[in-house]
Structure 1
Amino acid sequence: MSGRPRLDAPALDHLNAERAAGRPLGVAVSGGSDSTALLLLLSDIFGADALRAVTVDHGLRSEAADEARAVSRLCAARDIPHDTLRWEGWTGQGNLQDQARRARYGLLTDWAAGQGVAAVALGHTQDDNAETFVMGLARGAGLDGLTGMRPGFRRDGVTFLRPLLGTRREALREYLRGQGVGWCDDPSNEDPAYDRVRVRRALATLEELGIGAAHLSRSIANLRDTRAALARTLADWARVHVAQDRGDLLIDAGGLGGLPPDMARRLLNAALRWVSGADYPPRAESVMQIVTSPSVDRTLHGCLLRGDGARLRISREPEAAKRAGSVATTALWDGRWRLDGPHAPELDVSALTEADLPLCPDWRDTGLPRASLAASPAVRRGGELVAAPLAGLRDGWSAELANGRDDFAAAGFSH
């Protein structure tokens, strides 16, 4: 069909690679115009049998269930498998939008794993990207906050792609009209109580002044190029000044002190995220305290930081590792460890504890501090310790870092 919106080339290349590998493509569909158009575009390009569609109902609006059913009917009419996932975790306390976002991605990654899907496409558009940029301006954001939405990112082994960041919302709606397909409008998208709605209205005014989403997208792309160049510089620095010690990072304190403050902060943000597996870095003021006093022991962002004057060791905080709970030995533990050994249904993985160390007679020979070992994976049967690979109690088991954490310099600055 002429005039059909095109997917951004890098995302399309990734999706083509997934199909070449024989894997189905996931697409998250809310029922709004953007994700509905994405569903149809992907179906046109790859065929209905290549897709697995999913809708997340956060249970926060009475209309959401009807919208999910509308998506289900559209998918059924086009022979696209579809599932609806429901979140029921809102307690009325805390940051609703943050909790809903985290829950949404948790549901999506679990669903993708069950479907054999390694890549999920999201329907964010050029308009969404421009709104994110302006919201960053309102916060007084620096470089990282002004580079817009990430075109792609990984979470818990699943790649999320945004193939429509170069496409205007109105172009997608025109495409749907041409297809004779409707969409659902979320009433909250017109509620001025939300920052994003107020920004959307401000952008309409800016467009009249010649500062539209397309113009802002060019600025976003330029800033993204600048950040990428800075990331390459930091990666080169890390190859010289940062060593990996199994799940820990060892940073040359002298070298860290010689970096400009902003680069030191970026380096530490990357290290804290790499060790903790967190999606976002901690507050800048907390990180700058490390820059100015790297020898002070502290906990931050699910990590334990200890300095000896020469090096700063960043390891997983034992209490944070304990909160990762227990999983099957075939699953990823604490978001970063993959175990290999004689798997069995009665075995699980959880954090090794200080109390377990006497059961690991060779733990001192590993060279890892007690606290690092207390945050390492342990295999158990009915609560009884079977193996702790990093603590020297192997019994046929090994533990390897997963999700690209085998190379901090390569993975730590790719966000």
Structure 2
Amino acid sequence: MREVVGGHFLPTPPDRIGVAVSGGSDSTALLTLLSDFVAETGGPSLHVVTVDHGLRPEAAGEARAVAALAAELGHGHDTLRWTGWDGEGNLQDAARRARYALIAEWARAEGIGAVALGHTADDQAETVLMRLARACVRIEGGDVVIPLRDLRRLRPEILRRVLIAALHWLTGTEYPPRRRAMALLAEAVRHGTDMTLHGCHAKVSRGELRLMREARAVAAVIAAPGRPWDGRWRLTPPEGTDAPEGAEIRALGAAGLAECPLWRDTGIPRLSLLASPAVWQGDLLVAAPAAGRPEGWTAELIRDEEAFFGFFLSH
């Protein structure tokens, strides 16, 4: 094991090595291995860091336990605390990015040339799956788009997970369709056949599968400007102005699309635009950002691409 660990650092290891330890089995095992390595080789000094994201009450106690273990092994320990979560976007992704940024800043300040991170085999498998889902999936105009050449290369179970993640991302519902329905969907898209399922359209065109929200599934969804609509969108008025009195966010629908003469220039399919959010004041269309009539309004996806990959890993 010494040779395996040393292979990452020898023959010219840095003077100081950092190791990020959460208290879990993977990072604790890594700390123990590195501690043995530096003891046996008389090599670099080892410095331990724990990030407390402030999201769980147990985290502070876990950090103290890591500090105690580090002291027992004869190494210094620091706890870094993150207080930057504002409730927006994908929490897991924000926490991960913050963790790496805090550790990098800590390493620079301490003059540490390398920081070791521990991952279990399951973590590594998830990373492979995540990268695979990313070499073939993109989010475009609120739709999930997959090139058919990539889709047809996916193994059945990976394809099933990608399709389930897409439906979850589009609808926000807790449970996916039954396995039989998912098998029918996978079979349909592999053969270039359109299908409607779970309040979504699966449409094959121009060498791509596009999964989009079904218009009738959101026909009754209403939100105030600035509030989430259909769990994915937020529409806000032009900067420095208020929304018109009585304005509300509803689906664009066929009547609204008819008032958007430039919708084809957006490159977004008609079916997708019918289910896109628009600003209405009674029967008057005020704005339709996705359909080429923004009128100064901004449409923001609050369930972003990282949320899709979170759904993918959870299934």
TM-score by length of 2: 0.58
Q: Is the 8 A contact 1:340 1:397 kept in 2?
A: yes
1:246 match:
141
The aligned residue for residue 265 of structure 1 is: 160
Bigger relative contact order, structure 1 or 2 (CA pairs below 8 A, ≥6 apart):
2
Match of 2:207 in 1: 310
1:249 maps to amino acid: V
Note the aligned Cα RMSD (angstroms): 3.6
Aligned residues of 2:188 and 2:194 also touching (Cα < 8 A) = no
Per the TM alignment, residue 409 of structure 1 is displaced from its structure 2 partner at its CA by 6.2
What is the Cα deviation at residue 234 of structure 1? 2.7
Deviation for aligned residue 1:293: 2.3
Q: 1:322 maps to what in 2? A: 219
Give, in angstroms, the shift of residue 382 of structure 1: 2.5
- The aligned counterpart of 1:395 is 295
- Deviations along 1:333-390, one digit per CA (max 9) or x if unpaired, are 0000011224425211011101211211111111111110011000011232100000
Give, in whole Å, the separation in 2 of the partners of 1:388 and 1:263: 36
Corresponding residue of 2:104: none
Uncovered stretches (5+) of structure 1, i.e. residues with no partner: 1-7, 17-24, 26-37, 45-116, 120-152, 160-224
Q: Deviations over 1:263-293 (max 9, x none)?
A: 1111111111112222222222211222222
Cα distance in 1 for residues equivalent to 2:267 and 2:122: 37
- Of 369, 374, 382 in structure 1, the residue corresponding to residue 274 of structure 2 is 374
What whole-Å deviation, never above 9, does each CA across 1:128-151 have from its counterpart, x for those lacking one? xxxxxxxxxxxxxxxxxxxxxxxx
Q: Is the 8 A contact 1:256 1:291 kept in 2?
A: no
Alignment correspondent of 2:233: 337
Match runs of 1:156-235 below 5 Å = 228-235=123-130
Describe the shift of the 1:347–1:226 C-alpha distance in structure 2 as closer, same or farther (beyond 3 A). Answer: farther
Q: 1:231·1:413 contact (CA, 8 Å) conserved in 2?
A: no
Q: 1:292 aligns with which of 187, 201, 209?
A: 187
Map Cα deviations across residues 144-203 of structure 1 (whole Å, 9 max, x no partner).
Answer: xxxxxxxxx97xxxx9xxxxxxxxxxxxxxxxxxxxxxxxxxxxxxxxxxxxxxxxxxxx
Match of 2:264 among 346, 356, 364: 364
Give distance in 2, aligned partners of 1:350 and 1:329: 10
The 5-angstrom pairing of residues 90-129 of structure 1 reads none
Aligned length in residues = 215
Paired residue for 1:278?
Answer: 173
Contact 2:130 2:313 in 1 (8 A): no
User: C-alpha distance in 1, partners of 2:272/2:306?
Assistant: 19
Q: Which runs of 5+ in 2 are unaligned?
A: 1-22, 25-50, 62-85, 96-119
Conserved? CA contact 2:199–2:217, under 8 Å: yes
Cα 1:307–1:267 shift into 2, 3 Å: same
Alpha carbons 1:380, 1:386 under 8 Å: kept: yes
| 1:32-62 deviation line (CA, Å, top 9, x unaligned) | xxxxxx9xx99x9xxxxxxxxxxxxxxxxxx
Residue pair 2:165, 2:309 contacting (<8 A) in 1 also: no
Contact 2:188–2:195 under 8 Å retained in 1: no
Amino acid aligned to 1:235:
M
Distance 1:395 1:319, change over 3 A: same
Number of the residue aligned with 2:15? none
Structure 2 residue matching 1:350: 3-state secondary structure: strand
Q: CA 1:118–1:248 in structure 2 vs 1: closer, same or farther (change >3 Å)?
A: closer
| TM-score, scaled to structure 1 | 0.45
Return closer, same or farther for 1:229/1:399 CA change in 2, 3 Å cut-off.
same
**Displacement after TM superposition at 1:391 (Å):** 0.4
Identity %: 38
Tell me the CA shift for residue 310 of structure 1. Answer: 2.1
Asked if 1 retains the 8 angstrom alpha-carbon contact of 2:277 and 2:288, the reply is yes
Does the C-alpha gap of structure 1 residues 396 and 228 become closer, same or farther in structure 2, counting only changes over 3 Å? same
Relative distance call for 1:326 and 1:258 in structure 2 (3 A) is: same
Which one has a larger percent helix, Structure 1 or Structure 2? Answer: 1
Greater share of residues in strand: 2
Q: Which has the larger radius of gyration?
A: 2
